[in-house]
Structure 1
Amino acid sequence: MTTFRELEAFVAVADMGSFEKAAHNLGTSQSGISRLIHEFEQGFPEPLFNRDRRSARLTTKGQEVLSHARIILRQRMRLTERFEASNLFTPMLRLGVTELSAVTWLGSFIAKLKARYPGLRLDLKVGSSVDLHALMQDGLLDAAVVLESVRTHNMARVPIGVARCGWFCAVDAPLPGLLKLTEFERQTLLLQGRAQGGGTQIENWLLERGVKLANSIQSDSLAALAGICAAGLGIASLPRAVAAQNMDSGLLREVKIPIGAPSLNYMLIMRGGSLTEFHTAVAGLARKTCDFNKALVPHKAS
C-alpha cells in the first residue's frame, strides 16, 4: 500500500531532479529516498523516472502520476489545516529573505505568523536574491522574498512591496544638498554588489538616464555600505529605511540629484505545484505586513 512518505519522496525527487537533493529536503538519507521510491514504483507496471548519473527525470507515466500525487498531498494538508486544533497544527516554513527584509518588516511578520500558528516551525535563511532563488530551485526553501527582477520558472510570484532608495553622504562631506549630474558623475558611488541584484538594478537605472559612472565601490552588505559612506568615502545608494537610523545618529545626510532616486520592487516566490492554504495564508500575511521603508525599532526592556 502506498504511504504518504512515499508520495512525499516521489514529489520531492520530481521537483528537485535528484535523490540527493530530495533527501536533504526531507531530512533523510539518499538511501532512504531510494528505498521509498523503489517501493512506490513497485505499484506501477513501468518506471516513473528516467535515471542517469546526474539527475532523475520523470517518464511520461511519471508526469501523470505526479499530478495525482500533488493533489493527494494538498488534500492531506488541507484536511490537517481545517480540522486540527490551531495549537496542534505544526506547519513547517523554510523562508528566505534579503537583508533589507530582515532589518525592516521581518520581525513583525514572524510575530503575526506565530500568533496565527503557535506550533509553527520556522527555518530562516538571509541571503541575496540570487542565492535565495537558487535555493528555491533546489527545493531547499518553501518561499523567498526576492527582488522582482529575478527570473523564475514554475514558481508563483506575488508582488509584496517597494523599497524607496535615496542618495546619501557623510554628514560632514563637502557637497551641496543638490548636485548637478556632471558633479554627481565625478563622485565615487557606493552600491550593493551585483550578486545581490539591487546593485545591478541601480546601475541600469543610472545608465538608462545617461549617467556615466566614473568610480564605484560595491558591497553585499547594506550595513557595510552605510559605514563606508559615513567614513566619507563616497555617495551611497541606500534604501531609506537603512539610511534613516544613520541620519538620526548624525552620521549621514541626503544628497539629491535632478533625476531623483530609484526604487526596488520585491516579490514573494513559492513553488506553484506545492501550494496549500497555509502557503496562501503566508503570502497574504506577507503582503499586509511588509513595509520596506520603515526600519525595525529595537525592543527596549522595561
Structure 2
Amino acid sequence: MITFKQLDAIYWVSELGGFEAAANKLHTTQSAISKRIQELEDAFGVPLFDRSRRTARLTDKGLEVLALGKDLLERRDHLVERISDEAVIQSQFRIGVTELTGITWLPQLIARIRERFPRLKIEPSIELSSELYSKLDNDQLDMIIVPDVFSDARFISQPLKSVENVWMAAHGTVPEGRILALQEITEFTVLAQGSHSGTGLICERWLLQHGVRMRNTLVSNYLLAQVGLTLSGAGISYLPRHCMQFLVDRKMLQILPTTPSLPLVQYSAFYRADRQAGLTATIAELAENTCNFNKLYFDRLPTTE
C-alpha cells in the first residue's frame, strides 16, 4: 500500500535535490527516506531515481509518480487545513434577527463573523419574532436573535442585552416635564407592535397585568413604520429609547415619562441544542460581545432641512 510518507519522501527528495536534505525537512533520518523510496520502487516494480548520478534525479517513471503524488499531497493538505482551522470554513450560516437588531448592530455582527470566518457564507433574515422562531424550529435558520419570550428545552439561549422602551410622541404632544399615569395612556391612539412581535407580546402582557386596556390601537408589524407614524402625530408608541434619542435631540420626538415605566426587553440568541458546540456556539459568543442597541447604524446620515 502506498502511503503519504512515501509520497512526501519522493516529493522532497526531488524538490531539495538529495536524500539528506529531504530527511532534515521531514524530521527523520536519511535511512528512513531511503527505505520509503525503496518501498515505492518495490510497489511499482521500477526504479524512481537514477542512482548513477551524484544528485537525486527522477527517472521518467519517477516523474510520473511525482506528478500524481503531488496532487494527492495537495488534497491531503487541503483536507487537514479545512478540518483543523475554523477560519477556512466554507459552509453557510443562516441567522435571523428582528428589525431592531437589523437597524442597529447587525452590520457589526456580520463584520465580526466575516473577520473570524472569512469563507463562511452568511445569510441574514429580518422578520418578526414568531416567524423566526418557527423557522428555527423547522431547521430553516441556524440561529435567531429575538426578545426572550420563548421557552423550549430543544434550544440553547444565550442572553445578550436588554432594551429600554419608553413612550414617545411627536414633539409638542404633551407639555414638557409632565409625568403621565399609566392609565392616561389610554386617552391616546397607541401605535403598537402586534403579538407576532416579541416586544409587542411583552408590552401587551405587561399592560394587561397593570389593568390597562387600550381604547384605540393601531397595530404595525414594522418598527420603522411605527416610528414614522409616531413622527407624523398619528399616535403615541413605545420605542427603544437609546437608538431613537437622536430624534428626541432634534425635537422631532418627545419622551412621555410614565409611572410605572415600561419593562426592559431582554434579547437572546437561540439555537438548537444539538449544535451547541463549534461554529454556532462561537457565533453566539460573537453576538454577545457585539450586541449594542444604543445606536441606529444610519442615524448619522446627512439630512435635508
Alignment TM class, shorter chain as reference: 0.5 to 0.7
Change in CA separation of 1:273 and 1:214 when aligned onto 2, cut-off 3 Å: same
In structure 2, the partner of 1:268 is: 269
Given that 1:222 and 1:242 are in contact with CA atoms closer than 8 Å, whether structure 2 keeps it comes out as no
In structure 2, the partner of 1:93 is: 93
Given that 1:241 and 1:295 are in contact with CA atoms closer than 8 Å, whether structure 2 keeps it comes out as no
**Structure 1: gaps spanning 5 or more residues:** 1-78
Cα RMSD over matched residues?
Answer: 2.3
* Deviation for aligned residue 1:242: 4.3
* Deviation for aligned residue 1:299: 7.8
Bigger Cα displacement from structure 2, 114-123 vs 172-181: 172-181
SS in structure 1 of the partner of residue 114 of structure 2: helix
Aligned mates of 1:116, 1:289 — CA distance in 2: 13
In structure 1, the partner of 2:162 is: 162
Q: Which amino acid aligns with 2:179?
A: L
Given that 2:181 and 2:260 are in contact with CA atoms closer than 8 Å, whether structure 1 keeps it comes out as no
Bigger Cα displacement from structure 2, 129-138 vs 240-249: 240-249
Given that 1:129 and 1:150 are in contact with CA atoms closer than 8 Å, whether structure 2 keeps it comes out as no
* Deviation for aligned residue 1:300: 7.1
Aligned mates of 2:133, 2:82 — CA distance in 1: 27
Q: Which has the larger radius of gyration?
A: 2
What pairs with 1:222-237 in structure 2 (closer than 5 Å)? 222-237=223-238
Change in CA separation of 1:84 and 1:253 when aligned onto 2, cut-off 3 Å: same
* Deviation for aligned residue 1:174: 4.2
* Deviation for aligned residue 1:111: 0.8
Given that 1:202 and 1:262 are in contact with CA atoms closer than 8 Å, whether structure 2 keeps it comes out as yes
Aligned mates of 1:196, 1:182 — CA distance in 2: 23
Q: Which amino acid aligns with 2:89?
A: F
Identity of aligned residues (%): 27
Given that 1:168 and 1:243 are in contact with CA atoms closer than 8 Å, whether structure 2 keeps it comes out as no
TM-score (norm 2): 0.67
2:183 counterpart of 1:188: no
What pairs with 1:259-298 in structure 2 (closer than 5 Å)? 259-297=260-298
Aligned mates of 1:234, 1:299 — CA distance in 2: 26
Question: Per-residue displacement from partner, 1:140-184 (whole Å, max 9, x unpaired)?
Answer: 111111221123351111111211101101002244532233432
* Deviation for aligned residue 1:107: 1.0
Given that 1:81 and 1:278 are in contact with CA atoms closer than 8 Å, whether structure 2 keeps it comes out as no
Given that 1:147 and 1:198 are in contact with CA atoms closer than 8 Å, whether structure 2 keeps it comes out as yes
Question: Per-residue displacement from partner, 1:272-297 (whole Å, max 9, x unpaired)?
Answer: 11333111111111111101233224
What pairs with 1:191-206 in structure 2 (closer than 5 Å)? 191-206=192-207
Given that 2:95 and 2:122 are in contact with CA atoms closer than 8 Å, whether structure 1 keeps it comes out as yes
Q: Which amino acid aligns with 1:292?
A: F
In structure 1, the partner of 2:42 is: none
TM-score (norm 1): 0.68
Given that 1:143 and 1:268 are in contact with CA atoms closer than 8 Å, whether structure 2 keeps it comes out as yes
Aligned mates of 2:159, 2:253 — CA distance in 1: 31
